[in-house]
Amino acid sequence: MKCIGILALQGGVAEHVSHLEELGAKVVEVRLPEDMAGIEGLVLPGGESSAIAHLITTAGLMDPLKAWVAEGKPTWGTCAGMILLSDKIANPKRGGQATIGGLHVCVKRNFFGSQLGSFVSTLTFPEPLSAHAEGEYRGVFIRAPAIVSHDQDVTVLARVVQKKTSISALQDGVSEVIVAAKQGNHILCTSFHPELTSDLRWARYFLSMVPEK
């Protein structure tokens, strides 16, 4: 049984717990540094990225989380979690915004607009995931970020075709935007929320990144 920690300071924790437990994982809710003892993988859930960053710092978790990612341990960030893992933010909060870093990308917060920019899009599982999943799936986007640039060691897993009505698309002049990526075999990020559907394939894929003991 793999032991997966979920950062449980704010955001969509319960849904990730449900998916991982359904797949047979043991789940530990991480609120303090000592909660990370014994975990084999880590999920950073969606929520409000600047609020989560503040709570991480207050809880004394920033250095342990930075060390975890730097050591190449399996980590999955969804939505706000993707922002927290990113090395750069194109539009940080005024006054700056702390991140854990380690994922060699630049993201743009709220790429698709405010809460009114939330939507569901049908995506296709990419070739790198074909051994674990195939076919289409529903991507649930809620005030979602997007990756606007990345280093060569980052593999793009999914893109969304922009609608002409998208304010962000008009501003950035792009027809597609990256919404899922992987770095090595230790960092997975999705700007959408697989945990808000009944589809377990992304959670199953993340578990496949966690080595067997």
Instruction: Summarize pLDDT for 49-107 with one digit per residue, the tens.
Output: 999 999 999 999 999 999 999 999 999 999 999 999 999 999 888 777 889 999 999 99
Q: How many domains does the chain have?
A: 1
Q: Among all chains, which residue has been given the structure tokens 């051994």?
A: 131
| CA 174 to each of CA 66, 140, 166, 178: distance values in angstroms, whole numbers, following the listed order | 32, 21, 10, 11
pTM of the model: 0.90
User: Which residue among 15, 40, 186, 195 is the active-site one?
Assistant: 195
45, pLDDT greater than 50:
yes
CATH number of the CATH domain containing 125: 3.40.50.880
User: Which residue among 15, 40, 79, 189 is the active-site one?
Assistant: 79
196: left (phi over 0), alpha (psi -120 to 50) or beta: alpha
Q: 181: closest CA among 39, 86, 48?
A: 86
Res. 213 pLDDT band, cuts 50 70 90: confident
The domain of 11 spans 3-209
Q: What is the mean pLDDT of residues 133-150?
A: 85
Q: 177: closest CA among 151, 203, 144, 148?
A: 148
173, pLDDT greater than 80:
no
Query: How high is the pLDDT of residue 115?
Result: 59
189 in catalytic set: no
User: Which residue among 16, 150, 186, 193 is the active-site one?
Assistant: 193
212 in catalytic set: no
